Structure 1
Amino acid sequence: MERPPRLSNETNELQGLVDDGKRFLAGRVAFGARKALPGQDLSAQLVHLSIIGAEVCLLLGEHAESDRGVVSLCSDNKPHLAICGSSEASLKVELDSETGFYVLHEDGGEVDCVLITSSEERLLDHIVGHLSGSLGDLAPKTVDGAIDALVGRSLEEVEWRLILKTLRHFRGELSSAAFSLGMSIETLQSQVNTQLLRRLSAAKSSEKGQ
C-alpha cells in the first residue's frame, strides 16, 4: 500500500491542520448534495475547497493553467478559493462555518454573495457558466479530443484527475470508486490523502513566500 510522504519539521504544522480533515476521508469524500456540517474546522474547510479547486481545474482544462484562468487556495484564518477568469470574471468560494454551505461571490468577493448551496454540482455549474464567456469554448470534448488534451501532462496528474472524476461519478463512495479504478480502498484513500496534503502544503508555502 502506498504511504503519504513523510513530513519535514517545516510542514509539521500543516500535518496538524489536516489531521481532522482526514477523519471524514477515511469513510467518504463528500460530493453532491450533503447534510450541513455545523462548526466545520479549518482543516475540513480546506479539504473541501481543495477538492472544488481541483474539480474546477479539471473542468476548465488548459484554461486553468493559463494567464486567463487561475485557481488558488488561500488557507488563512478564513479559507477561500480564488478563481480568476479575467478582470471581469473573478470568483471567490467560501464555506459557511455554521451551515457547511458553499458561498460564492463575484468580483473576487467585492460584492455580496450570488449563490449559497450545499451542492457541489450546482456550485461547479455556476462557476463554469460564469467563466465560460471569458475562457472561450468550454463544451465537452470528444474522447479523442480529451486524450489529445492530456498529451504533455504527467501520468501522476492524469491519474489524479481520473481519480477525482471517478469519485465525483460515484458521489464520493470510496468502495465503488476503488472498484471502478481497479485498486484497493486503502490505495485510493492513501492517494487522495497524499494529493490533498501536497496541495495544502503548496498553498501554505505560497502564502509564506508572499
Structure 2
Amino acid sequence: MGVAMMRPPLFASDYRASAARATRELKVKTLLRALVGRLHDALTTGDSALSVAFSGGTAPHILIRDASAEVVGRVTIDDESDLYVFCEFEDGATDVVIATASEDRLLEELVLHLRDGQPASQPVDAAIGMLVGQTIEDVERKLILQTLRHCKGDPTHTAFMLGMPLVTLCKKLSAYLAESASELPQVAAVTGLATGAYRL
C-alpha cells in the first residue's frame, strides 16, 4: 500500500494576504458597479452624449466615452488610499482631476469637467432638506444602520463607505445594540438582520 502524497498547507500569512486581496478586489468592483448607475444619470441627461461602462479584471475601472466612442475619462479606486480617482484624458495627456472618498464630490467634478459645468440633479440636497428638525445623533444612527444594511451586515465595508474608522463604527454599533430591549427589534428591522446574526 503506497503512501499518499499530501500538499503542504498554505502558510497562514499567505492565506490572509490572498483573502485580503480577494476581499478588496470584490469591494472595489462592488463600489464601482454601484457608481455606474449614478454616473450614467449625471452624465447622460440633456444633450450630453457621454456613455459610461464598467470594466472588471485585475484593475477594475469605469470608462467614460464621448459620442465618437473616444475615452474622455476614467474612474478608479486607489489601492493605497481607497479614494475614488477621476482622470481626464485630453489631448493625449492624462490628468488626475480629483481624488476623494465622497461619491457626491466625485460626481460634481465629473459634471464640471465633462458636461461643461451644467448642473446635475441634487438628490442629496433634497434628502438633506427632509432631515431638517432631526438631531445629528438620529441622522447619524439612521445613516449608519442603513449603510450596514446596504453592505449586508459587513462592518468593514460599511466603515469604508462611510469614511469612518472601523473601530469607531464598531463602538457606535455596540452602543446602538446595547439600547433598551424594546428598541432592539427596531434596530434589527432597520438593518435587515437579526441582532445576533453577525459579530463585530
- How does the TM-score come out when normalised to structure 1? 0.42
Greater relative CO, 1 or 2 (CA 8 Å, sep 6+): 1
- How does the TM-score come out when normalised to structure 2? 0.44
Larger Rg belongs to: 2
Larger % of helix: which? 1
